[in-house]
């Protein structure tokens, strides 16, 4: 497996984090165990020191008289008779130059006790002192008579048992932590590898479909609603969109090939007929010339529409500028006459200035006028109207024909959409170009159609000045 793979890196990272966490927990546990053992020993030493102090004070009071050094010494002796020793700690009393220890010390401190080699404290209170028997925990306080110290009492206990118990507990915790690391690491690795499986499937599918082949493949979507599951779902949706786009592209190219080939084939057929039968018949020459001209005109419109659709996504598809609306309509009338569309009527527009791309808007209006003329019966009235209301420019092309076929009514703005019984030479690109032009201007196309006719409205933003 690739060491750079997430299936390797994430489990390794998770195991490292788990190991660091367990290591930190072990360190804190060791310190806590050591501190707890030391605290328990200090509490035992404190209880012995308090008991010794009370006993000596009681004994001194019972002897009566002043609390002199000899009286305190007898009280210490009496205490040792009643409390000869303890297996955990040793009581040491220093009076003047004399040292008195518990008669029955812990076995580990017996030799030091016999030789009176217990290290003296350096200060009152708790401290750890080195000794021949190992480190000792010491708790001491001064013996004071009439405000003057006459000696010192010290209670000591071995610190080694605490270290041994702490080390033993730490070893057991380390074994438990190691087992947890192995089991937890394995569980985390298994969970991560399983969770990342859809990503591996996604990468493999992306590699197979990267050349836009096998777009019908899909990634298995996990049932869990997490980020990986959503990613797999979105990836499948993307593949679906790419597949649809590829089908549309194929259909688009096929339609373009057909539309471009048809006028060329028709024109070539007429020219070949003229060539076979000779060019000495003026009427036939004129008829053939007219037909070829019509096919070339149709071909020119088709190329213009294809170029418009191809450039629609570009930023410079439309270049708005200030234009007089009445002059725009006048230029449109001239182009309508050039296409022999004299049945199209234009209503007088208001004399205002608007911001738009005049060439693209005229292309859209001409497409609407040609569609209205081609797809309606002879004698159908077609009216083009331009008006500005509420800061919006509304360009309307209306006819009183039979209306748009209901089968294609909702898709007429898509390229190459034509009704099933359409026998005209329309390419099905006109309304798609209109929609592209209007959208590029930030507007929308509205279509109202029915048995009484069709009205197409181009609703555009306009900066108008009277």
| pLDDT recorded at residue 466 | 40
Supply the DSSP symbol for 5: S
Q: What is the CATH number of the domain that holds 296?
A: 1.10.287.130
Digit-by-digit pLDDT tens for the chain (466 residues) are 556 666 677 778 888 888 898 889 989 998 999 899 999 999 999 999 999 988 888 888 877 656 677 888 888 888 888 889 889 899 999 988 889 999 999 989 888 888 888 999 999 999 999 999 899 999 999 988 777 888 899 999 999 988 888 899 989 999 998 898 889 888 888 887 777 777 777 777 776 666 656 666 776 666 666 666 777 777 778 877 777 777 767 766 776 676 667 677 777 777 777 677 666 677 777 777 877 777 787 777 777 777 777 777 888 888 999 999 999 999 999 888 887 887 899 999 998 999 999 989 998 999 899 888 888 888 889 999 999 998 899 999 999 988 888 888 888 888 777 665 554 555 667 788 899 999 999 999 999 998 889 999 999 997 644 4
Q: How many CB atoms lie within 10 A of CB 333?
A: 15
Q: 135 to each of 108, 111, 128, 129, 170, how far by Cα in Å?
A: 12, 15, 7, 6, 20
Q: Is residue 247 part of a domain?
A: yes
C-alpha span between 312 and 77 (Å, rounded): 112
User: Which candidate, 417, 410, 415, 446, places its Cα nearest to that of 433?
Assistant: 415
Structure tokens at 112: 């030091």
C-alpha span between 55 and 49 (Å, rounded): 10
C-alpha span between 355 and 461 (Å, rounded): 8
C-alpha span between 215 and 19 (Å, rounded): 44
C-alpha span between 399 and 452 (Å, rounded): 8
The phi, psi pair for 383, rounded to 5°, reads -125, 130
How many contiguous H segments (helices) and E segments (strands) does the chain have? 9, 12
Strand order in the sheet with 136-145: 98-101, 89-95, 148-158, 136-145, 125-129
Q: Is residue 326 part of a domain?
A: yes
pTM of the shown model? 0.48
Q: Which of 147, 165, 183 is the last residue of a domain?
A: 165
Question: How many domains in the chain?
Answer: 3
142 with 81, same domain: the answer is yes
Collect all residues with Cβ–Cβ distance below 8 Å to 57 and sequence separation of at least 6. Answer: none
249 with 385, same domain: the answer is no
| pLDDT recorded at residue 140 | 94
Q: Which of 257, 281, 308 is the last residue of a domain?
A: 308
296 with 394, same domain: the answer is no
Q: 118 to each of 51, 52, 113, 134, how far by Cα in Å?
A: 21, 18, 7, 11
Per-residue burial over 109-143, b if 16 or more Cβ lie within 10 Å, else e, is beebbeeeebeebeeeebeebebebeebbbbbbeb
Q: Is residue 203 part of a domain?
A: no
Q: Is residue 206 part of a domain?
A: no
Classify 391 as helix, strand or coil.
Answer: coil
350 with 293, same domain: the answer is no
284 with 323, same domain: the answer is no
Q: Is residue 214 part of a domain?
A: no
296 with 323, same domain: the answer is no
Q: Which of 144, 165, 186 is the last residue of a domain?
A: 165
| pLDDT recorded at residue 279 | 61
Cβ–Cβ < 8 Å for 306, 430: no
Collect all residues with Cβ–Cβ distance below 8 Å to 351 and sequence separation of at least 6. Answer: 324, 325, 326, 466
């Amino acid at each position: 497996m690739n060491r750079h793979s997430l299936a390797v890196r994430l489990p390794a990272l998770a195991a490292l984090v788990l190991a660091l966490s367990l290591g930190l927990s072990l360190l804190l546990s060791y310190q806590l165990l050591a501190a707890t053992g030391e605290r328990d020993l200090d509490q035992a030493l404190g209880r012995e020191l308090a008991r010794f102090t009370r006993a000596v004070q009681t004994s001194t009071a019972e002897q009566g008289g002043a609390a002199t050094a000899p009286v305190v010494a007898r009280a210490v002796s009496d205490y040792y008779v009643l409390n000869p020793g303890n297996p955990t700690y040793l009581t040491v009393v220093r009076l003047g130059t004399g040292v008195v220890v518990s008669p029955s010390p812990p076995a580990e401190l017996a030799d030091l006790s016999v030789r009176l080699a217990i290290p003296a404290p350096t200060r009152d209170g708790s401290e750890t002192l080195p000794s021949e028997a190992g480190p000792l925990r010491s708790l001491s306080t001064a013996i004071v008579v009439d405000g003057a110290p006459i000696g010192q009492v010290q209670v000591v206990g071995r610190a080694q048992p605490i270290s041994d118990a702490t080390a033993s507990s730490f070893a057991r915790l380390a074994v438990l932590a190691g087992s947890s690391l192995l089991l937890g690491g394995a569980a985390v690795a298994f969970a991560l590898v399983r969770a990342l499986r859809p990503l591996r499937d996604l990468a493999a599918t992306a590699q197979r479909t990267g050349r836009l082949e096998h777009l019908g493949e899909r990634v298995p979507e996990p049932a869990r609603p997490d980020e990986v599951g959503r990613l797999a779902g979105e990836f499948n949706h993307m593949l679906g969109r790419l597949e649809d786009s590829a089908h549309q592209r194929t259909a688009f190219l096929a339609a373009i090939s057909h539309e471009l080939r048809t006028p060329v084939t028709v024109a070539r057929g007429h020219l070949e007929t003229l060539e076979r039968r000779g060019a000495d018949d003026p009427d036939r020459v004129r008829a053939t010339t007219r037909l070829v001209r019509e096919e070339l005109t149709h071909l020119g419109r088709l190329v213009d529409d294809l170029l418009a659709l191809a450039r629609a996504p570009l930023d410079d598809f439309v270049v708005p500028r200030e234009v007089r609306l009445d002059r725009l309509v006048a230029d449109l009338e001239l182009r309508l006459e050039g296409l022999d569309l004299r049945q199209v009527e234009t209503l007088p527009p208001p004399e205002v200035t608007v911001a738009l791309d005049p060439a693209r808007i005229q292309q859209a209006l001409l497409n609407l006028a040609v569609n209205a003329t081609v797809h309606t019966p002879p004698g159908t009235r077609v009216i083009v109207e331009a008006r500005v209301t509420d800061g919006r420019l509304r360009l309307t092309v209306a006819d009183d024909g039979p209306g748009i076929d209901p089968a294609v009514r909702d898709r007429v703005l898509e390229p190459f959409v034509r009704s099933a019984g359409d026998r005209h030479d329309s390419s099905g690109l006109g309304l798609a170009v209109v929609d592209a032009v209007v959208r590029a201007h930030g507007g929308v196309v509205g279509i109202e159609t029915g048995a009484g006719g069709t009205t197409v409205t181009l609703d555009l933003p306009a900066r108008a000045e009277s």
